[in-house]
Amino acid sequence: MVPSALIGVWAARTRVLERPDLHGPLLHRTVVIGFPVAVLGAQPVALQAVGLWTPSTTGVGALALVSFAATGIAGGLAFAAAIALVAARIGDRRGPVTTALVACGRRSMTFYIAQSPVWLVATEPSLLGLAGALGAASAAGVAVVTWAVTVVMADVLRRAGRRGPAEALLRYLTYRTAEPARTQPAPLGAEAPGVTPRHVRG
């Protein structure tokens, strides 16, 4: 979590993702290296999930999880770099799908939070209780469908000219305490800055 946040801070300061035209070589290297590293690092956990491999000791299992998490960061960076490169290639030529994806990205906090109730309903034993029944492919299918629904909902909000509820709340909490700057009353006879003094004829 912390390494990802620090990398995000660095990327924001250097505007790597905002200016792919200036950072093309770095983004290409990130894609070429990041995806294979993520795939290789996920193999132990993936093999364990499908029942083809079982850790011999608890330490080996923990090491597999650490490898999965660490190399997952490389995969996330590769995805971000790939999206930046594709966005640069598309430019302003946005179709309906691209426009909907942009709308979802601008309301990402809302729909990230919105996915939690879906998984709660799907996995809670007192509700649907599908935690033990869903395999890897089925869980991935539920995730894709959930994400697609959020994209459609985001586009509906875009068409209505509305922010996501979470973004609107964050904006309210951020700016509600900001008071407009108070100006001190000018001394009697003084002119406000930028105003040409008037000459009074005696």
Q: For residue range 114-136, what is the model confidence (pLDDT) as tens digits?
A: 888 887 877 776 777 666 667 77
pLDDT value for 89: 86
Mean pLDDT of the chain: 82
pLDDT value for 191: 47
pLDDT tens for each residue of 81-101: 998 998 888 777 778 888 898
Q: Please, what sign has the CA dihedral across residues 146, 149, 151, 153?
A: negative
Closest CA to 91 of 145, 20, 149, 43: 20
pLDDT tens for each residue of 57-89: 889 889 999 999 999 999 999 999 998 998 888
Mean pLDDT, residues 132-143 taken together: 76
Q: How far apart are CA 29 and CA 188, in angstroms?
A: 67
Higher pLDDT, 147 or 190: 147
Both structure tokens of 110: 């809302």
pLDDT tens for each residue of 165-202: 999 988 888 877 544 444 444 454 544 444 444 444 44
pLDDT value for 186: 45
pLDDT value for 192: 46
